[in-house]
A and B are shown apart, each in its own frame.
Chain A
Amino acid sequence: MSLDYKQKYSFGADYGTSFFKFGSILCGEEPKMIENRGYFPRNDNIMHNAFGETKDIVVGDEVPLYLQAKEDLTENLIYPMKNGIVEKNNSRAWDVVKAISLYGLEAFEPTDNDFEGFNIVASLSSIAPRYMYEKIFQIYKEINERRKLIKAATVISQPLSVAIAHKVTTCTVIESGHGNTQVCPISHYPIRNAIVPINRGGGDANSITAEILKDLGYSDLAREEAFVTRAKEKLGLIPVDFEKSVAKAKKHPKKFKNKFKIPGTRIVVELEENTWTRFLIGEYVFDPNHELFTSYFKRGLPKPKDIRIGDLLFKGMLDFGEAIIEAVERCPVELQPHLYRNILLSGGNFCWEQPSMQLKGLATSANSKIKLLLRKKGITNVNISMTNEPQYSVWRGTIIYGYAVPENYNWSWEQLEGWISFD
């Protein structure tokens, strides 16, 4: 496997909970992206009988064309991952993973004579159990049995991929997606024993946004996830000091006024006297422990729970500052200052609009909020940066990994790295 071969046929596959991002090294800066889901068409319906459709599973852009009745969706539209994990014995979920993997590889299959299969690097959540690694390799083997698309395969963790993509070799990566957040210290390798997973992500921020919208009289809209996400992004503010910011907004609501119009509709959301609730959204993402949230929990806002997946406990209410400290303090003392000095924020849950200058001192950015949370706990010498185009970071890391790791480095179950050859 020469450098030239790697520069043509390295392939990255980022298995995110919501989206599957994939593509060869020749993609350039951005991969292809499809939703991480699959639809199992019912074979007993009229359309099927009339047109003889034989697809067992549909993935990618075609999915909406196959969708049938709403009630059918729950059963047949499968999102295989929850919090980055696929259940071990959920065969339909694994069928979807196989289908999206094949979809991605076929989309980039070259016709060149020298093609002997891709060197595929799959990226999974840092808390993915060993059986997921085994299943992924098994899927690749099955794909290859039908058609040689893979020459060698490996699996790496998503936070490691992020660090690689951002050219930082010693750092702490906080990857916050829709379902959960992973804090992972990295020093040339992911420090697995130090990973702190949190059972809170962008979905929880959506939940509190929905509660706020309900209180404002937009109950119908609050049920539509896409609308709630847009509202969260447009209305949410990260407070510098939650209590002070809320107090200020309650006193001068007009200063925090922000209209949100849903594109293509006549609906305009205005918070009027309740502009202070904008800070609830931001604070909840970073630290949901303030007593103000208690009333929301009592009224039905699902409280992020502690859950156990495999050997790992996902804490629901851990604030991000505390989570970073917990992760870093599991690492050697000598390393700790370096891990604080390079904190990388990645994932859609950190995508917040920069607050206007008018709100200076009251609203802030995700970077500054983390800095403030750490300062409260006595950690001051920190440098926090936001990844560029966080949705592509993991894929970019996989491409570099596939390109750089020597082809003769065989897979090690102890190290969880190296290549499994399919030659």
Chain B
Amino acid sequence: MIKSNDLRVDEYFQSRGMQPLDISSLGLEKDNLKPDIAFTDSNNRIFVKIIDSGPLNERSALLDAVMKSVDFLKEANAAYLLLPKLYASIIDGKLFYNHGVGLLTYDKRGAIQEIIKPKIFSQINKENLVKMPEETLIEINNLNKRIRSLEQDFSKLKEELDELRVKKVNIETNEDGPKSYSLNAEIHDDAPEFMKDNPWIGILSKRGKD
């Protein structure tokens, strides 16, 4: 049976642009407000309560877990309950919607799926949010710069690719004849067969430019 340790929760949230938070640094005094795992997307704090497949054998225990997740909202902008997929069927979704708690499930292979999106609450003490170390902020700024630069390069390359699609230069060596240069203009997939891979398109598209 899969245990919470086996779940790739970090991977799931990080793939959505969030960073894990060190719970001990959050200054949470009450145990019932401490999540199993927490993340931030820089603006919001997200707490997650994980239910192992083992101990949850009563419906009341499940309700208790939901209510604990609701408590998280005192310290977090959003809360998730992560539980085995099997139990999702016995929960009334209204409970989650009413309290704004998100629901995540995991299957036997540990794959996580979001069933209900949480509400994002803005009234949270911002001071409680983790402060980024100086070097991390510098690193993020550098990364931002690099991303912008890469985006510019990408746009440029995309433009060039579009042009090449219109006029794709192929230099071919024809064993049966002299070397020929063919320039193929872009042909739609639904174009007639006689237009596809037709070397004349390249030749004719150069007419008047020679």
Q: Which residues of A contact B (CB under 8 A)?
A: 3, 7, 28-29, 163-165, 167, 169-170, 188, 338, 341-342, 396, 399-401, 403-406, 408-410, 417-418
Contacts and interface: CB of A to CB of B under 8 A. Distances in A.
Contacts of A341: 176-177
Contacts of B109: none
A29 B194 CA distance: 8
Interface string B174-210: 0011101000011010011111011111111101110
Contacts of A28: 192
Given A167-B197, A342-B177, A408-B208, 17 more contacts: A3-B166, A7-B188, A29-B194, A164-B204, A165-B194, A167-B198, A167-B200, A396-B192, A399-B194, A400-B194, A403-B195, A404-B185, A404-B204, A404-B205, A405-B207, A406-B209, A418-B207
B193 A29 contact: yes
Nearest to B202: A404
Given A338-B178, A409-B208, A417-B207, A396 B185 contact: no
The majority secondary structure among interface residues of chain B is loop
With most chain A CB atoms within 10 A of its CB, the pick from B178, B186, B188 is B178
Contacts of A405: 204-205, 207-208
Interface of B: 166, 176-178, 180, 185-186, 188, 191-195, 197-205, 207-209
A341 B178 CA distance: 12
A169 B209 contact: no
Contact of B201 (A29, A163, A404, A410): A404
B209 A7 contact: no
CB-CB nearest 10 A-B residue pairs: A409-B208, A404-B204, A404-B201, A164-B200, A396-B194, A404-B205, A167-B198, A405-B204, A338-B177, A29-B192
Contacts of B208: 405-406, 408-410, 418
Contacts of B185: 3, 403-404
Given A169-B203, A406-B205, A399 B195 contact: yes
A96 B5 CA distance: 86
Contact of A169 (B191, B195, B199): B199
11 contacts: A29-B193, A169-B180, A170-B177, A341-B177, A399-B194, A400-B201, A404-B201, A404-B202, A404-B204, A404-B205, A410-B208
Nearest to B208: A409
B195 A400 contact: yes
Contacts of A401: 200, 204
A406 B177 contact: no
A163 B200 CA distance: 9
Contacts of B192: 28-29, 396, 399
A230 B173 CA distance: 45
Contacts of A188: 203
